[in-house]
C-alpha cells in the first residue's frame, strides 16, 4: 500500500524568487498525494541590514524551522539561493546546528532534494547542489536514487534528482533555469527577474517527482 509521505519544503528567500518556487513544489507534492509542510530557514541578517537591502518582510505565516523539526518528516525539499556556488549562510546556519542529529544519525534513511536560484545562467545552479551534498552525506544521505536490494537497512539520506524527466529543461527558445539536479530560477544580478512560467512549472514538477519517489521508498 502506498503511503502519503510527510515532506518538509524548507526555503530561504530574500526577495521572493525562491518563495515562489517553494510554493510551486508544495503544489506538486499535494497533487502527487504527498503531505507537504512549508517552513523557512531563520534569517541571520539584522533588520537594519535587510532594510538597507530593501528586502521585503518575511512571511510570518510560515514557521521557522528548528533542527529538532527535521526528525518529524520523511523527506525534505531544500530551496535556497546560491552564494558563490554554494548554499547561503542562512542555510548553513541550520545545518551547522544539527550536530546532535548527526551524533545520533537521526536523519539517516530520509530523502532530500534541492531547488536553487542564481543571478545568472552559469552562477552555480549545479555546484550549489553538489556543494550541499557533503552535508547530506554526513547526515547519512547518499546519491542512490533508490535503495539497492542488497541493502538491509537504509543507505543514509538519499538525494533525489529530477534528471531529464522534466523535458522542459532542454528548452532552447528562452533563458531558463534548471538542470538534471533539480528545478531552479534565474533572478538577475539586481533581483529584477522573476521566475518564469516554465521555471514555476519545473518547480511543481520537481515536487511531484520527489513526492512520487519518496512515496515508493517509504512504502
Structure letter (DSSP) for residue 14: S
Tell me the average pLDDT across 183-197: 95
pLDDT grade for 15, boundaries at 50, 70 and 90: very high
Q: Is residue 169 part of a domain?
A: yes
Here the cell at position 174 is 528562452
> Closest by alpha carbon to 199, among 82, 139, 116?
116
> Closest by alpha carbon to 76, among 137, 5, 17, 13?
5
User: Could you tell me how far CA 3 lies from the centroid of its own chain?
Assistant: 21
> Closest by alpha carbon to 109, among 140, 137, 65, 80?
140
pLDDT tens, 143-189? 443 444 444 444 567 899 999 999 999 999 999 999 999 999 999 98
Q: Is residue 89 part of a domain?
A: yes
CA separation for the pair 184, 126 (Å, rounded): 9
> What does the pLDDT read at residue 141?
60
Q: Is residue 1 part of a domain?
A: no
Q: Is residue 176 part of a domain?
A: yes
> What does the pLDDT read at residue 158?
85
Q: Is residue 194 part of a domain?
A: yes
Assess contact for 32 and 212: CB atoms under 8 A: yes
Tell which wins on pLDDT, 86 or 150: 86
pLDDT tens, 106-134? 999 899 999 999 999 999 999 999 999 99
pLDDT over 90 percentage in the chain: 84
Assess contact for 114 and 182: CB atoms under 8 A: yes
pLDDT tens, 17-40? 999 999 999 999 999 999 999 999
Q: Is residue 16 part of a domain?
A: yes
∠113-189-56 over CA atoms, to 5°?
Answer: 75
SS3 96: helix
Domain CATH code at residue 196: 3.40.50.360
Give, for 90, the enclosing helix (H) or strand (E). Answer: helix 89-96
Q: Domain of residue 157: give its range.
A: 6-218
CA separation for the pair 194, 196 (Å, rounded): 6
> What does the pLDDT read at residue 1?
60
CA separation for the pair 6, 157 (Å, rounded): 15
Counting the structural domains of the chain, the total is 1
Amino acid at each position: 500500500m502506498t503511503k502519503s509521505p510527510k515532506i518538509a519544503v524548507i526555503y530561504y528567500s530574500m526577495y521572493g524568487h525562491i518563495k515562489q518556487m517553494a510554493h510551486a513544489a508544495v503544489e506538486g507534492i499535494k497533487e502527487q498525494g504527498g503531505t507537504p509542510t512549508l517552513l523557512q530557514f531563520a534569517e541571520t541578517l539584522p533588520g537594519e541590514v535587510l532594510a538597507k537591502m530593501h528586502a521585503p518582510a518575511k512571511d510570518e505565516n510560515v514557521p521557522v524551522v528548528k533542527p529538532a523539526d527535521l526528525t518529524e518528516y520523511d523527506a525534505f525539499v531544500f530551496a535556497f539561493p546560491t552564494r558563490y556556488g554554494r548554499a547561503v549562510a542562512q542555510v548553513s546556519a541550520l545545518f551547522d546546528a544539527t550536530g546532535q542529529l548527526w551524533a545520533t544519525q537521526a536523519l539517516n534513511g530520509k530523502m532530500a532534494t534541492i531547488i536553487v536560484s542564481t543571478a545568472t545562467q552559469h552562477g552555480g545552479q549545479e555546484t550549489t547542489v553538489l556543494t550541499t551534498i557533503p552535508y547530506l552525506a554526513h547526515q547519512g544521505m547518499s546519491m542512490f536514487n533508490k535503495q539497492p536490494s542488497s541493502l538491509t537497512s537504509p543507505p543514509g539520506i538519499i538525494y533525489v534528482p529530477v534528471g531529464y524527466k522534466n523535458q522542459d529543461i532542454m528548452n532552447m527558445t528562452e533563458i531558463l533555469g534548471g538542470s538534471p539536479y533539480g528545478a531552479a530560477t534565474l533572478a538577475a544580478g539586481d533581483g529584477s527577474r522573476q521566475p518564469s512560467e516554465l521555471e514555476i512549472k519545473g518547480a511543481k514538477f520537481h515536487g511531484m517527482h520527489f513526492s512520487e519517489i519518496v512515496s515508493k521508498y517509504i512504502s
